Amino acid sequence: MLSIPWENLYFNVVFEDGFAVRSFFSEIPAFKTEYIQFKEQLEDYFSGKKVELDIPAKLNVSPFVRRVLEEVSKIPYGKTATYSDIAQKLKTSPRAVGQAVKRNPVPVIIPCHRVVAKNGLGGYTTSVLNPKVSLKIKEKLLSLEGSGISF
């Protein structure tokens, strides 16, 4: 487990057998951070260094969601893709993609914040926080990566 401070929040990750299984944002640190392998990598990321996160995750999701998240993982640091881009690659619909990324158990580690709507930002519902705050997080993650998005 670990909790890393960022902005006025904390980013928390749950590990099992060396795999990330769940991550979320919270106002209060959810865990007492023990030493783990990926702490420094994440701290670098949140401090604004351009690091491609490389953290193994164990996903307990449907085959379809897995395929979508697989595509999402390919979006490079600082870039974005639209829901319909991904839909086209997987021969499905943008809405189905939206549902799939919504079920991403490990936000940030699988960069679902890089998936945006064609006209706008799209949504973001990870964490225990309310939707408005969540969306703010998405925006800040994108600007942290310097995606050059202005809304």
- Which of positions 46-65 make contact with DNA (CB under 7 A)? 62-65
Residue with Cβ nearer DNA (33 or 84)? 84
Q: Do the beta carbons of residue 61 and residue 69 sit within 8 Å?
A: yes
State the number of CA atoms in the 13 A half-sphere of 5 facing the CB.
2
Residue with Cβ nearer DNA (12 or 104)? 104
Site string for DNA, 104-143 (x = CB under 7 A): x--x----xx-x-xxxx-xxxxx-----------x-----
Choose, by CB under 7 A, the member of 18, 99, 128, 146 that binds DNA: 99
Instruction: Give phi and psi for 106, each to the nearest 5.
Output: -130, 70
Closest CB 35 distance from DNA, rounded Å: 29
Q: Do the beta carbons of residue 14 and residue 22 sit within 8 Å?
A: yes
Closest CB 19 distance from DNA, rounded Å: 19
Closest CB 102 distance from DNA, rounded Å: 3
Rounded Cα–Cα distance for residues 16 and 19 (Å)? 5
